[in-house]
Amino acid sequence: MSDQRCTELEIKLAYQEDMVKTLNDTVCSQQASIDRLEKTCRYLVQRLQEVTQGPLSDEPDQERPPHY
């Protein structure tokens, strides 16, 4: 293998290693964002359940208005 070809392969490998590192950083950042969003969704679902199970939920849905 010629020196020039070996050098070209080393350059290509260096670029690929840099690209893999960049992609890995991007994936890690996206996973952190997904984790935050999932945590927020769980919190919102919990709050919604607490609100819907509060004192207003005990009233029947089809109760007659007081003027009847």
**61 φ/ψ angles, rounded to the nearest 5 degrees:** -70, -35
- Which residue would you say has higher pLDDT here, 10 or 1? 10
**Cα 33 to the center of its chain, rounded Å:** 5
**In this predicted structure, what is the pLDDT of residue 12?**
97
Q: Give me the numbers of helices (H) and strands (E) for the chain, helices first please.
A: 1, 0
Token readout for 18 is 């840099």
Domains of the chain by residue range: 26-50
Alpha carbons within 13 angstroms on the beta-carbon side of residue 49 total: 6
- Is 80 exceeded by the pLDDT of residue 1? no
**Nearest-angstrom CA–CA distance, 27 and 34:** 10
Q: What's the pLDDT tens digit per position in 2-60?
A: 999 999 999 999 999 999 999 999 999 999 999 999 999 999 999 999 998 866 555 55
